[in-house]
Structures are given as structure tokens and as C-alpha cells.
Amino acid sequence: MAIKATICKATLELSDLDRQLYLTQNTVIAQHPSENNERLMNRLLAFALNMPPNDDQGPLEFAKDMWDADEPAIWQKDLTGRLLHWIELGQPDDKRLLRASARVAKVSVYNYGTHTWWDGIANKLSRAQNLWVWQVPQDQSQALATLAERTMSLQITVQDGAVYVSNDKHSVEVTPVKLYGA
């Protein structure tokens, strides 16, 4: 018998001072049986950092990357179904990123842990002009994982590139480092 996904519910209260964006988003996220809390929380972080100000261009949604190899972790499609933004987590290979960048207006990668992965493929992606690569420092990523719960209410404040994520008990500061992008 297959193990089923764990369903997590999150209320994200976003105050992005860098983009002058203030909103509350209720979301349901399926945690794949092989997905640890660190990856789950990095997905939520990437989701919050890329939330559009409204759904006029289409909503940002969690995709089925761990269930379907043809989908990213998160994507945004316009109202006609055309892909606008493809968001990957972890360490995707260069071929996957080049394929995505040819199909989509913007591709973002949020790597957590070590950046030696990026050092090995950076030169292969120089022609991808619509690619942004972010590194979440390993200690910050692991601290972020401690906030994971089945039902979460997270306050996320972004100011001067620093992200403060807190629940009613703990707070974590995350400062993603841009490795590549305009």
C-alpha cells in the first residue's frame, strides 16, 4: 500500500516592504511522503517571495513536481493556461532549466543547502536570460524547517532582501543570496 501525502494548511500573512505588497493567503500544500520539512518550508518561502499582487495575470500555484517530473514545485499560469513563471527547488539539472527557460517568461530556482551544485552548472546556463537562481543558506534553511506544522499561521516580512518568518512561538531570519539573474 502506498503512503499518502500529508496535507498541510498554511495562512501566510505577507508584508513585503521591498515590493510594497501586503496580503494574506490561505493555502493547502501536499507534503509528499519523501519530502522533508526543510523542503516543504522552502517551498512556502519561494511561494511567498513570488506571490503576485493580484490574480489578474493568473494565480501562483503549487505544482506536482515530486509526483510529475514535467512540473515544477510552483508555477504561475495566465488565465489562458500559458505558463508565466516556473519555480524549482533544490538542485535541478541544466537541461531541465534550459528546457523550462525556453517555454516560460521567467524561471526561478531556490536552492537550499550547499551551492556546489550551482558551481558545476553555472557556465552551462549563460544563455538563459530569464533565469534567476537563489541560494538559501543551509543554517537558515534548517532553522526554517523548525516552523513546519500541519496547520501553520506564518507572518512573513521582507525588507531590504531579508525575510523574517515567524509563527506564534519562533522567528527565523532568512537572507536568500542571488547567485544568478538580472
- In this predicted structure, what is the pLDDT of residue 1? 60
Tell me the three state secondary structure of residue 123: helix
Domains and CATH numbers, the chain: 7-180 (3.10.640.10)
Which residues are CB-neighbours of 21 under 8 A, at least 6 positions away?
A: 14, 15, 51, 53
Q: What is the reported pLDDT for 55?
A: 86
- Cα–Cα distance, 175 to 164 (Å, whole number): 9
pLDDT of residue 66: 78
Higher pLDDT, residue 68 or 31: 31
> Residue 70: what pLDDT?
86
Which residue is associated with the grid cell 495562512? 11
| pLDDT per position as a tens digit, 6-30 | 999 999 999 999 999 999 999 999 9
Q: For residue 154, give every residue at least 6 positions away whose Cβ sits within 8 Å of its Cβ, in sequence order, or none.
A: 10, 11, 12, 13, 44, 48, 147, 165, 166, 167
> What value does the mean pLDDT of the chain take?
94
Strand order in the sheet with 74-77: 60-62, 74-77, 83-89, 106-113, 131-137, 177-180
What pLDDT sits at residue 68?
A: 82
Give pLDDT, residue 65: 82
Grid cell, residue 112, equals 537550499
The confidence score (pLDDT) of residue 5 equals 87
Q: What order of strands is seen across the sheet that includes strand 21-31?
A: 21-31, 6-16, 151-159, 162-166, 171-174
Statement: residue 67 has pLDDT above 80: yes
Average pLDDT over residues 125-147: 95
Q: How far apart are CA 40 and CA 150, in angstroms?
A: 11
Is 69's pLDDT higher than 90? no
Provide the pLDDT for residue 175.
Answer: 97
* Through-space distance between the first and last CA atoms of the chain, rounded to whole angstroms: 47
pLDDT, mean of residues 67-96: 93
What is the pLDDT at residue 109? 97
